[in-house]
Structure 1
């Protein structure tokens, strides 16, 4: 829905807006706009943020953050402390089994005041294993080498690059987390196997296609206990649908990585959905969930195969909350990431299930002359959030 005229007028005359609000989701009655200080403590704020916390080699970011004084991490923490999510998905944060970077970020930056902002305590941190940089032992690009970044199960210069992590104020049920890191692309129904458009031959030979994993990072179902209820954070970071050729192999993979969630919501008893723990089937019926992550697909613009994103947003079990950026450009345009000077698209998402009552949602995107504008160069993405209540 569009903002009211009075809201637009106020937004026009205020010189600096740090957090942008939208009134409601599609097919939902408008709700009163609230400031952060006015929000009911019973509401749950969920956010995703591509923080670009990666380096040129393993361990570089962890070393950089060890003393709690890294400039990039300080800016990222300031953004998060402004929005103050209860549940936060970080994209592009280095992974190791100890969760070194995610824990350091939580303890040495988020739990420490950044400027005049209040600290944030996340007692529950879950670092998600990733396919990025994990060597496949296969020559995936056919150049005769086995050690290029593209030859990993997911593109990465080192193991653990571009991973996911979940930070939460509420308990994460770690022994019931479902991961789909090893799920094979070939086992996906009607998989979009890329082909050469001129010859019609498969881009990946049969022996490679039989081994390829669907997820470029991971698909993960993280159950979180919020009072008497359980919320499933469904997190992923599909591969960018670019950096390939006319066969569009990255676009095909991005499409099916997004479509995986459509099946996971609908195919509760599907025996082909098998997680890394050996459990089959999709999400249980009537479960509360939030789909979150840098999905690398704008449903209208860009290079992705847009039908997957369009169908996911139109799914009967979700609410498409469209955060608005009220900047110099079209105020009705939904934007979460910046590519170059002028190309802005919606590729980061927080999509709640239909049972929630959505209070508001937004994107942290300060206006040009806001004091907070100095924070946004820490990454090329913007933090996206939604405030929900359990009826």
Structure 2
């Protein structure tokens, strides 16, 4: 089966804007759906889809994908931290109601959250949602300088969400899907809050898979999917967290690659450019920040970053999505 991750961007300016763009069939939203349909994933994790409690945005976008010929009837939009008010001045600027004071950065509740789509049903009754885990409760948490007791009493680790749940396959087997999206390491005025948080959001999975948290990870095969906003070699984040996760004995790194990324290499970067997953024009350049990492007990048949060479129909279609990030996919089978 094929498992994929893609960070998309509706450029929504407020609640309901992404839903409106989907319902109006704006060209970039149709292009996104066409890319996904062409990728034909069995399981897809999207980041950047606005959350609403009734699931209207998720359902509308999934319907748009189905219109392009690819059906994934099973949806899950976990309640995110993004944009959800904390009521506390978390960034220390004297104001408790800013975008960076939410449980996860966001201009409005549910901004740019996770959406999970699948051809196979979820066992939602066994969903493990770690999104409300307090940052201070994570072993070896780096926290941030000047943190007050009132901030740490409400400050969650997850910028968006950390979840795990089983996918029920037609053979009767289960594949656990672990999904998350971390905030970027460098933004805001605080010197180290978001930098350390970004580190710990990926370090969480290393701790969990090593049995260092109260929740015990499953023995079944699994796949870790999401956006870490962290390159293992380059960028301005603490890369050691990503290298440590990629080297975890319960994981394998298929090292997906794309020809477009190799062609667009940044000469001053250390990491292999063919593994990059985002085409940024800023000083950070192109980085590998999106991951699909199967457990070490599954067989990987193929993988890739959907970053084609320029001046091709697929490159033109991806450009039409107005999304800097590229889809990442892995084909696998259970042993």
Shared fold by TM > 0.5? yes
Aligned to 1:335: 276
With normalisation by structure 1, the TM-score equals 0.79
Deviations 1:150-194 (A, max 9, x none): 111111000010100100000111121111121100100011022
Give the TM-score, by structure 2 length.
0.92
Q: Which residue of 1 aligns with 2:301?
A: 359
User: 1:267-322 CA distances to partner (integer Å, 9 max, x unpaired)?
Assistant: 17x42xxxxxxxxx13122x111111111000000011111110110000111111
Q: Secondary structure at the match of 1:302?
A: coil
Deviates more, 1:162-171 or 1:173-182: 173-182
Per the alignment, residue 143 of structure 2 pairs with 193
* TM-aligned CA deviation for residue 261 of structure 1: 0.7
* Helix, strand or coil at the partner of 2:275: coil
Root mean square deviation of aligned Cα: 1.6
Of the three residues 240, 244, 247, the one matched with 1:314 is 247
Q: Where in structure 1 do 4 or more consecutive aligned residues deviate above 3 Å?
A: 329-333
* Equivalent in the alignment of 2:163: 220
Question: Alpha-carbon deviation of 1:329?
Answer: 4.0
Indicate whether 1:139 and 2:89 are aligned: yes
Alpha-carbon shift at residue 143 of structure 1 (Å):
2.4
Q: How does 1:263-278 map to 2 (within 5 A)?
A: 263-267=207-211, 270-271=213-214
The equivalent residue for 2:150 is 207
- The count of corresponding residues between Structure 1 and Structure 2 is 323
Give the counterpart of 1:158 among 82, 105, 108.
108
Q: Structure 1: which 5+ runs fail to align?
A: 1-43, 114-118, 196-201, 272-280
The match for 1:75 is 31
Q: Distance in 2 between matches of 1:130 and 1:54?
A: 18
Look up the match of 2:257.
Answer: 324
Distance 1:63 1:122 in 2: 22
**Are the aligned partners of 1:266 and 1:282 in contact in 2 as well (CA < 8 Å)?**
no
Whether contact under 8 Å (1:133, 1:158) holds in the other structure is yes
Equivalent residue, structure 2, for 1:112? 67
* 1:304–1:337 distance in 2 versus 1, CA, 3 Å: same
- With over 3 angstroms needed to count, the CA separation of the structure-2 counterparts of 1:299 and 1:346, relative to structure 1, is same
Contiguous gaps of at least 5 residues in structure 2? 266-271
Q: Secondary structure, in 3 states, of the residue corresponding to 1:146?
A: coil
